[in-house]
């Protein structure tokens, strides 16, 4: 069971800030492919992966990152703090 | 406290005075504060969203990197989230060092990383509707300058 | 007032808040403040001497140069003279701009010029007697970096 | 008549912060040569000109600067503000 979080326009497009996902995905990229099948809103949110960043257990990482032992995956657009 | 993530407004001047008073060996204090711009009156509100938990971790890492890289007496970061209006302070950083070159470089480094590596997202509300602020290519490019240069030690 | 030369202490935080409140279109405010260092407890007093009349002229020129060179909303300089003790604020500069790169660069420029081109001289008093602070070669060298580079416009 | 000012250790070595000088000197350098003859303290203060800076009518300038029409000349060590 992985806790998947969405922020900013990903959250708005998907219409949810988090969901618990039962998955066998090995990598973040695999998880994204699964998520895209959940609803048209998910498919739209993940349609332009160049605009999506990911953090695994609260550390920024790449889409190729492993999900082994991971509890939390967050998807969001490029950050605009400061 | 050296890292604070909060929804409440803060008094930038009072924070700076408190920070300066606690860094006795330092001769140089640099601050940066980010304000909500009014964009010629077209912006009425800004909302900052963040990722609780990761935000504090990311800021602590960025601060530790700055402390390791330059000769600093201290460094602090305050960043707000939630709704704000034009003129509000969004965030501030402060750095203290014996020499001004270190304090300036570290403050710029904190800002560059904070812009692109801390999980905050700004949404603007105004006369023309609402929109998520786009990240700037130049913010990403700014990070590049810290990769190969040596930290300054003079000043 | 954008240039002040005074013997009285000033409240750096209050000055920064007042400056920030008056620069509505700006998104970025950078401050630098110089403190009297304690030098491990060996320094008991510092006296800053200056050249009344020329000081104000020199600071106004340095500020005007910064305003002309970068896209700034405002810039201010406060510098004290007379006796001070460790921990006291000697001086401050503040710059406000739409973009942070301009505010940072202009603040560093003001400091570099103020160090070597404004008629102030520091004398330190301490356990080992009294001495005039020597100018640093690196302060003079710092000026060189402003000669040929273009002002940044991004950030 | 030129008002000559001294600051920092130049003031201390000469023992005075200003003096009114009647001079025919054409340049700052000529004026320095005249001043050095006024007392051993003056000669000492001006013994290392690499450490002396000059302002003419409150503008920084060089030792070669003309004194034509000048009312105030100030001598001091390299500045240490900030």
| Contact status of B69 with chain A (Cβ, < 8 Å) | no
Chain C residue nearest residue D11, CA to CA: C49
**What was the pLDDT predicted at B153?**
45
pLDDT tens-digit profile of B21-36? 999 889 999 999 999 9
The owner of tokens 């008093």 is C125
Distance from C-alpha of C30 to C-alpha of B16, rounded to nearest angstrom: 12
Average pLDDT, chain A: 97
Q: Which pLDDT value is given to residue C153?
A: 45
Residue-wise pLDDT tens digits, B78-118: 999 999 999 999 999 999 999 999 999 999 999 999 998 99
Rg (CA), chain B: 16
Sign of CA dihedral B75, B105, C28, C115: positive
Please tell me the distance from the alpha carbon of residue A25 to that of residue B16, in angstroms, as a whole number. 48
Q: Do C51 and D55 touch (CB under 8 A)?
A: yes
CA-to-CA distance for C27 and C97, rounded, in angstroms?
Answer: 6
Q: Is C28's CB within 8 Å of B35's CB?
A: yes
Q: Which two tokens stand for residue B104?
A: 């300036």
Q: Distance of CA D10 to CAs B82, D5, D19, D31, Å? A: 59, 9, 13, 15
Residue B151 or residue A36, greater confidence: A36
* Distance between CA atoms of residues C108 and C29, nearest Å: 13
pTM of this prediction? 0.93
At residue C150, the pLDDT reads: 47
Q: Which residues of C touch B23 (CB under 8 A)?
A: 35
> Does B135 have pLDDT greater than 80?
yes
Q: Which chains are within 8 Å of D by 3+ CB pairs? A: C
pLDDT: which is higher, D2 or C139: D2
Neighbouring CB atoms inside 10 A of A21's CB total 15
* CA nearest neighbour of C29 among C12, C5, C4: C12
Q: Which residues contact C144 (CB under 8 A, 6 or more apart)?
A: none
Q: Do chains B and A touch (3 or more CB pairs under 8 A)?
A: yes
Place of tokens 């200056």: C50
| pLDDT tens, residue order, chain C (155 aa) | 799 999 999 999 999 999 999 998 899 999 999 999 988 888 999 999 999 999 999 999 999 999 999 999 999 999 999 999 999 999 999 999 999 999 999 999 999 999 989 999 999 999 889 999 998 877 777 887 887 544 444 43
A and D adjacent (3 or more CB pairs under 8 angstroms): no
Of B83, B106, B91, B88, give the one whose Cα is nearest residue B29. B106
Among C12, C13, C21, C142, most B C-beta atoms within 10 A, so best to mutate, is C13
Quote ipTM for the complex: 0.92
The pLDDT value given to residue C155: 39
Non-local CB neighbours of C61 within 8 Å, separated by 6+ positions: none
The DSSP 8-state label assigned to residue C133 in this structure reads P
Q: Which helix (H) or strand (E) holds C35?
A: strand C28-35
Pairing of strands C28-35, C72-80: unpaired
Give the span between the Cα atoms of B110 and C82, in whole angstroms: 35
Do residues B30 and B100 touch, judged by C-beta distance below 8 A?
Answer: yes
- At residue C151, the pLDDT reads 47
Neighbours of chain B (3+ CB pairs under 8 A): A, C
Q: What is the mean pLDDT of chain B?
A: 91
Please tell me if residue C21 touches chain B, with a CB cutoff of 8 Å: yes
A31-50, pLDDT tens digit by residue? 999 999 999 999 999 999 99
What is the DSSP secondary-structure string of A40-58?
Answer: HHHHHHTS-GGG-EEEETT
Nearest beta carbon to residue A7 from set B49, B90, B118: B49
Look at residue C154 in the predicted model and tell me its pLDDT. Answer: 41
């Amino acid at each position: 069971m992985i806790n998947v979080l969405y922020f900013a326009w990903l959250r708005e497009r998907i219409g949810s800030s988090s969901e618990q996902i039962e998955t066998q995905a090995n990598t973040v990229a695999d998880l994204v492919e699964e998520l895209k099948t959940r609803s048209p809103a998910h498919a739209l949110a993940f349609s332009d992966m160049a605009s999506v960043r990911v953090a695994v257990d609260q550390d920024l990482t790449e889409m190729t990152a492993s999900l082994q032992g991971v509890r939390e995956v967050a998807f969001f657009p490029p950050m605009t703090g400061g | 406290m050296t890292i604070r993530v909060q929804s409440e407004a803060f008094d930038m001047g009072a924070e700076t005075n408190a920070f300066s008073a606690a860094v006795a060996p330092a001769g140089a204090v640099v601050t940066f504060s980010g304000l909500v711009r009014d964009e010629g009156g077209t912006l009425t509100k800004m909302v900052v969203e963040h990722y609780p938990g990761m935000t504090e971790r990311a800021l602590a890492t960025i601060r530790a990197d700055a402390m390791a890289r330059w000769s600093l007496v201290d460094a602090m970061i305050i960043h707000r989230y939630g709704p704000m209006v034009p003129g509000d302070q969004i965030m501030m950083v402060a750095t203290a060092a014996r020499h001004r070159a270190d304090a300036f470089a570290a403050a710029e480094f904190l800002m560059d990383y904070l812009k692109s590596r801390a999980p905050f997202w700004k949404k603007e509300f105004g006369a023309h509707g609402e929109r998520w602020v786009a990240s700037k290519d130049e913010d990403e490019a700014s990070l590049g300058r810290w990769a190969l240069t040596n930290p300054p030690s003079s000043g």
